Amino acid sequence: MAIPLFLVDAFTDRPFAGNPAGVCLLDSHRDPQWMQAVAAEMNQAETAFLHARPDGEWDLRWFTPTIEVDLCGHATLASAHALWESGRAKVESPIRFHTRSGVLSCTRNGERIEMDFPAEPATPVAAPAEEAFALGVAPIFVGRNRMDMLVVIESAAELRQLVPDFAEVAKIKARGVILTAQSDVAEADFVSRFFAPQSGIAEDPVTGSAHCCLGPYWRDVLHKDELVGYQASKRGGTVTMKCVGNRVILGGSAV
């Protein structure tokens, strides 16, 4: 029996930009090894696996080509988009996903999708030499949360031009490394990039879950609760954030 499988570009309003994610709609629970094999075959940063629950909500898991992850923004956005566009969910109603990071809800707001995610603030790291060496930068702040390292630098131009030593980045014990700087363009408050060779992704095009860390950091620096971030990868993408207590509302489009 055929299993529906979609490819969705997230955090963009045009094809071939943003971050592509696979979305696999299952009619029954599947073995994690099978899901990992499908994710490797899709070879996207993440492939999402959805299964309808009896209560009308959805179970959601995310896999990179090599590992299962605890939280993924762009594949969640892609999942909601696929359910609404295929008629499997009502556009006027929120979608609730049950995940390894708790219940995550997605709501349509015009052409944009808003996702209610947990805030993932970074705690300062005392000795950031390893991260600085791997990235070849002079950080002004290094921290970490339960998933990632956060490295803040002064220059957005340096961030855009950086070519990391991926072999060294892969040695850092984290899901990945978030690099960020204050924006050099009026359309965004900050810019970022995300490197995760240790999770099977050299550079992720647009990382929604990283903005659960970036939002709280830049809220405290810029003293504003509503922010716009631009992830300066080759494909590029824009993520809006609204920091509300211990949650971050992430916004973006998908095609």
What pTM was estimated for this model as a whole? 0.92
Three-state SS for 131?
Answer: helix
Cα of 132 vs its chain's centroid, Å: 23
| pLDDT at residue 239 tops 70 | yes
Query: Does position 185 have pLDDT exceeding 90, yes or no?
Result: yes
Exposure string of 163-184, with b = 16+ CB inside 10 Å and e = fewer, is ebeeeebbebebbbbbbbbbbe
In this prediction, residue 126 carries a pLDDT of: 76
- Res 199 pLDDT > 70: yes
Nearest residue to 21 (alpha-carbon basis) of 51, 50, 52, 42 = 42
Let me know: does 46 contact 75? Beta carbons within 8 Å: yes
The phi, psi pair for 93, rounded to 5°, reads -115, 140
Q: How far is CA 173 from the centre of its chain?
A: 18
Between CA 13 and CA 112 the distance in angstroms is 9
Q: Mean pLDDT over residues 193-219, rounded?
A: 97
Q: Which residues contact 173 (CB under 8 A, 6 or more apart)?
A: 198
- Checking if the pLDDT of 131 tops 90, the result is no
Catalytic residue set:
46
Q: DSSP of 162-181, one letter per residue?
A: ----HHHHTTSSSSEEEEEE
Residue 238: pLDDT over 90? yes
**Predicted confidence (pLDDT) per residue in 88-102, tens digit:** 999 999 999 999 999
User: Confidence class of residue 133 from pLDDT cuts 50, 70 and 90?
Assistant: confident
